[in-house]
Structure 1
Amino acid sequence: MLTWLYTPADRPTLITKALNGPADMVIVDLEDAVAPTAKEAARAQVVALLGSLRSAPGPSRSSGEPSAPRAGTRPGESSAPWAEARPGEPPVPRAGTRPGESAPWAEARPGEVPAPRGRTRSGEVAVSVVRAARVQVRVNDVRTAWGQADLRDLAPVVAGTAGIRLPKVESPALIRAIADAVPGVPLHPLIESAIGLERAYEIATAHSSVASIGLGEADLRAELGVRDEAGLAWARSRVVVAARAAGLPAPAQSAYTDLRDLEGLAVSCRLGRAMGFRGRAAIHPAQLAVIEAAYRPTAPEIEAAQAVLTASGSGATLLPDGRFVDEAIVRQARSTLADADLRGA
């Protein structure tokens, strides 16, 4: 995969359009893209969307794509174990409540979709085009009541999707607690703080449910006082190394927030690819083609990789152009040609 597209969880028509579009993965965003007053309605819409996948598998993008998921199991209504995952802070309220108010949606029976308050911003999602394996959900910070309610209500329907994106992860204990709450669901922690960055490898290896790690660069920039891309070089390399050391896929780059600067996006993607990233998140469909082009192997790279494989087979050797070839170079060449084949280069 090279492209991940964020879509607001309270804009079902945009989700439908994204699922019909070219992005490899669609991230339904319950956090930054949704205003506080719309979070309850957005959560209910996402629950309904994912629940509908059980009965409406929809057309497949490829013959190898999995079928629609089956429902999971609602976890018990015990107080959230991750409430004390970050020492020095007061515990957050019981899942599903905010300080000083009750949670009417907590009264829904298991398996029942809570009704959203008020009107939603758009109509029903065309679930027949939805493919579970192409959907991730970014929840709110699970140390808050909103995030805990997200996990509680998504637990019955998130099985079979590409998993849950977890913002602002700083503790391996937090990952283990969430993995217990949504067993078998792939988890994708986002590291967005200095302490999270220091613990990147511990977070990546916290539980077998961790399927990837990535950076949340906007929050990290703000905390570190970073002014330009050069200031992120060490943080980016740290996450790439932590992911690979943990046996995880190469991480995807964080979203590029200047929607009008497509040339700047291309330059940043080429830099990210050179640093070991693989693909990038987008916040607008116009960014997708730029990301894919920047991460796709170039014609000279493909030609060089083919030359390496042609010369391989007899141990270490020297190519006519002076390049030394050993097994590590051969593995990299195979990877390049595999990427070129998969992307139609």
Structure 2
Amino acid sequence: MPGDRPERFGKAADSGADTVILDLEDGVVPEKKAAARDAVVRHGLRSGVPVWVRINAHGSLWFADDIAALRAARVDAVMLPKTEEVAEVEAIAAAFGRSIPVVALIETAAGIAGLAKTLRAENVIGAAFGSLDYALDLGCDPLWETLLFARSEIVLRSRVAGLPAPIDGVCTATGDAELVRQDAAAAAGLGFGGKLAIHPRQVAAIAAAFRPSDADLAWAQEIVSLAGDGKPVKVSGQMVDRPVLERARRIVRSFDALRRSQG
């Protein structure tokens, strides 16, 4: 949500999204940066909704002022755009004067090249993919085929670093729920744990894509019930060994966690 549109903050918080990201970077033109910063510091969103702030990139004209303003604000994490080096992440903690969770937004070729080291920085809690800026940096079309390597690398490096599954980049379609769902389903299938949204109406489609389908849940429950002891068995004509069983258990756990979160 652009930081210079405080009248929309509440709509974002009520959208059903897991986290609200207030933006000080690309969503705000230079002449409105200061006003946006003030609005974000006074965001007033209820404490039950995590609030992240996408600051301006390290080395930009606004980075230092963003950090200074956010020190006393209720911010659950900082999203660092165009993250490329560990030093950029460490500069945030140094400027805050305390540890602050950082989400590394990977948007450049250099960001991919330094990913393994960046994700091991002490205060990095996860990675997100800035697909549009990454395509711009490489001079390629922002298509799934052209960005598959970068997406796979972010998923792989997040896993190796012991971090949660990363967050995929945005789908620019705001009026086509099915296209959003398909884009999010592709991300989920690749191993992403979530997806950035640029409009509240995208949230439901994204959530549906990351939720186990009825067919997947039924399959997983059958596998767990018949192969729960871990011994290889055949279920509905399929040989079930440890990897298949663990995948089924993961689907059941995901469903149970979702059900608990929704009461």
* TM-score normalized with structure 1 length: 0.71
Distance 1:289 1:155, change over 3 A: same
The structure with more radius of gyration? 1
Q: How many residues align?
A: 258
Alignment partners' CA distance in 2, 1:288 and 1:152: 31
Counterpart position of 1:307: 222
Gap regions ≥5 residues in structure 1: 1-6, 50-126
Q: Is it true that 1:298 corresponds to 2:213 in the alignment?
A: yes
SS state of the match for residue 222, structure 2? helix
Q: Is it true that 1:140 corresponds to 2:56 in the alignment?
A: yes
Kindly state the Cα deviation for residue 132 of structure 1 after the two structures are TM-superposed: 6.2
* Cα root mean square deviation, aligned: 1.8
- Aligned to 2:73, which of 157, 161, 169? 157
Identity value in percent? 34
Could you list the runs of 4 or more consecutive aligned residues of structure 1 that deviate by over 4 angstroms after TM superposition?
none
Gap regions ≥5 residues in structure 2: none
Counterpart position of 1:8: 2
Alignment partners' CA distance in 1, 2:38 and 2:140: 37
- Give a deviation string over 1:72-103, Cα, whole Å, max 9, x none: xxxxxxxxxxxxxxxxxxxxxxxxxxxxxxxx
- Aligned to 1:224, which of 126, 138, 146? 138
Q: How do 1:105-124 and structure 2 match up within 5 A?
A: none
Alignment partners' CA distance in 2, 1:225 and 1:38: 29
Q: How do 1:67-146 and structure 2 match up within 5 A?
A: 127=44, 130-131=46-47, 133-146=49-62
Amino acid of the structure 2 residue aligned with 1:225: G
Q: How do 1:15-54 and structure 2 match up within 5 A?
A: 15-49=9-43
Counterpart position of 1:212: 126
Kindly state the Cα deviation for residue 133 of structure 1 after the two structures are TM-superposed: 4.9
Instruction: Confirm or deny: 8 A CA contact 2:20 2:50 kept in the other structure.
Output: yes
Alignment partners' CA distance in 1, 2:151 and 2:4: 31
* TM-score normalized with structure 2 length: 0.91
Kindly state the Cα deviation for residue 226 of structure 1 after the two structures are TM-superposed: 2.4
Instruction: Confirm or deny: 8 A CA contact 1:316 1:324 kept in the other structure.
Output: no
SS state of the match for residue 211, structure 1? strand
Kindly state the Cα deviation for residue 11 of structure 1 after the two structures are TM-superposed: 1.1
In terms of fraction of residues, the more helix-rich structure is: 2
Q: How do 1:163-174 and structure 2 match up within 5 A?
A: 163-174=77-88
SS state of the match for residue 319, structure 1? strand
Instruction: Confirm or deny: 8 A CA contact 2:126 2:158 kept in the other structure.
Output: yes
Counterpart position of 1:335: 250
